[in-house]
Amino acid sequence: MNHPSPDTRRAERRIALSFGVSMVSGFALLGVYLAGGQTQVEAVLLAISLGGIGAGIIVWSQRLLPNDLHVEPRHPAADPASTAVRDIVAEERAITRRSLLIRALGGAFAGLAAALAIPVLSLGPAPGRSLFQTPWRRGLRMVGLDGQPIKASDVPVGGIVTGFPEGVPGSADGQTLLIRVGPGLLRLAADRMAWAPDGYVAYSKLCTHAGCPVGLYRSVEHRLICPCHQSTFDVLDGAQPVFGPASRPLPQLPIRIEADGTIVALGDFTDTVGPGFWNMHDG
Ligand code: FES
C-alpha cells in the first residue's frame, strides 16, 4: 500500500479545511436567519459556504486526482495485467480511501443545503383558499372607508361608490363598486337580477386583467374602465369585458337593500376576484 506523500497530506488537509469552513458557514447562515436575520452577514456566510466547496473541489482536482498522461502499450489479450494498469488501480484505491474528504464534502453540502432552505422558510404559511375568497359573507353590510354603513339613498341614479365588507373597511380583495343605473336597464342573467335590486348592482373593484382598481365610470355609456390598460366592462351586462386585455367579467356581489336602506351582502362574490391566473385551480 502506497503511503501518501507530505504534499498529498497537505492537500488533503487543505481540502478538509475548505469543506469544514463551508459546512460551518452554511449552518451559521441558517442560525443567523433563525435569530432574526441580517442581510449582509447572510450574504457573506453564503459566499464563504459556496467558496469553501469551490476551493476544496479545485484543490482536490489539481492535487489529488491523477493528472498524468498514462499510455498503456498494446499487449496480447492473454497477458496478465501490466504493471502500469496495476499502478493505476492502486492509485484509484488510494483515492477511495479518502473517506474523510468524502465525509467533509458531504458535510459542506449539508451546510449549503441548510443555507438554501432559507428561501423555503421565508415563503411563510400556505395561502390555502384565501386567494379564492374575500371577507364578504352573507349578512354583512356594505360600509365606506370610514366604517359607516352605505345607504341606497347615498347613491343617485348614475352614481357609484366604493364599499367594503362591514368590519373590514379598506379590504383589498373585498373592495366593491356599488353602482345605481336607471330602472329596467340591467341585462343580467335571470338568477342574478334578484341580486341587483332597484337598479343597484355591485361588482368587484379589482380588474380581472392584472388587479388594478377599476376606478373610472362612464355613467352615460354604463361602462367601467380600468386606468391601467383600459379594460372596459359593461355594467348593464354583468360587467362583461368589451374592450382591453381583461378576459373575465368583474365578479358580481349579490346584495339586497334592507328596510333601513343599508346594503347587505347575500354571500361572497360570484367568482374569484382579481387577475385571471388566480382562477387556475382545481376548484
Ligand atoms: S389591470 Fe386593468 S386593464 Fe390591466
In the chain the first and final C-alpha atoms are separated, in Å, by 67
Domain shared by 85 and 155, yes or no: no
Specify the pLDDT at position 63. Answer: 83
Q: Is 262 within the bounds of a domain? A: yes
- In the predicted model, is pLDDT for residue 277 greater than 90? no
Higher pLDDT, residue 16 or 163? 163
Least confident span in 108-112, 186-190, 249-253: 108-112
Ramachandran angles phi, psi of 114, nearest 5°: -60, -40
- Beta bridge partners of residue 225, listed in sequence order: 216, 232
- Identify which of 100, 97, 102, 115 has the alpha carbon closest to the alpha carbon of residue 23: 115
Domain shared by 109 and 198, yes or no: no
Domain shared by 77 and 160, yes or no: no
Domain shared by 38 and 106, yes or no: yes
Is 215 near ligand 1, meaning CB less than 6 Å away? no
| % residues pLDDT > 70 (the chain) | 88
In this predicted model, what pLDDT tens digit does every residue of 193-213 receive, in sequence order?
A: 999 999 999 999 999 999 999
Of 97, 121, 145, the domain-final residue: 121
- CA–centroid distance, residue 207 to ligand 1 (Å): 6
Domain count, the chain: 2
Which of 175, 206, 224, 231 should be mutated for ligand 1, with most atoms under 8 A from CB? 231
Angle value at C-alpha 159, between 157 and 162, nearest 5 degrees? 140
Domain shared by 106 and 205, yes or no: no
Range of 230's domain? 132-279
Query: Residue 156: which CATH number?
Result: 2.102.10.10
**C-alpha cell, 233:** 366592462
Domain shared by 74 and 39, yes or no: yes
Specify the pLDDT at position 283. Answer: 42
Domain shared by 115 and 152, yes or no: no
Is 197 within 8 Å of 262 (Cβ atoms)?
no
* pTM score of the predicted model: 0.63
Of 88, 121, 154, the domain-final residue: 121
- CA–centroid distance, residue 246 to ligand 1 (Å): 7
d(CA 85, CA 68): 13
Domain shared by 20 and 73, yes or no: yes
Q: Is 1 within the bounds of a domain? A: no
Q: Which helix (H) or strand (E) covers residue 87, if one does?
A: helix 83-96
Specify the pLDDT at position 232. Answer: 97
Domain shared by 101 and 158, yes or no: no
In this predicted model, what pLDDT tens digit does every residue of 31-43 receive, in sequence order?
A: 888 888 888 998 9
Specify the pLDDT at position 102. Answer: 83
Domain shared by 213 and 156, yes or no: yes
Largest CA distance in the chain: 107
pLDDT band at 119 (very low <50, low <70, confident <90, very high): confident
Domain shared by 33 and 144, yes or no: no
Is 225 near ligand 1, meaning CB less than 6 Å away? no
- Rounded to the nearest integer, the mean pLDDT of the chain is 86
pLDDT band at 96 (very low <50, low <70, confident <90, very high): low
Q: What is the mean pLDDT of residues 170-181?
A: 95
Q: Is 127 within the bounds of a domain? A: no
Q: Is 25 within the bounds of a domain? A: yes
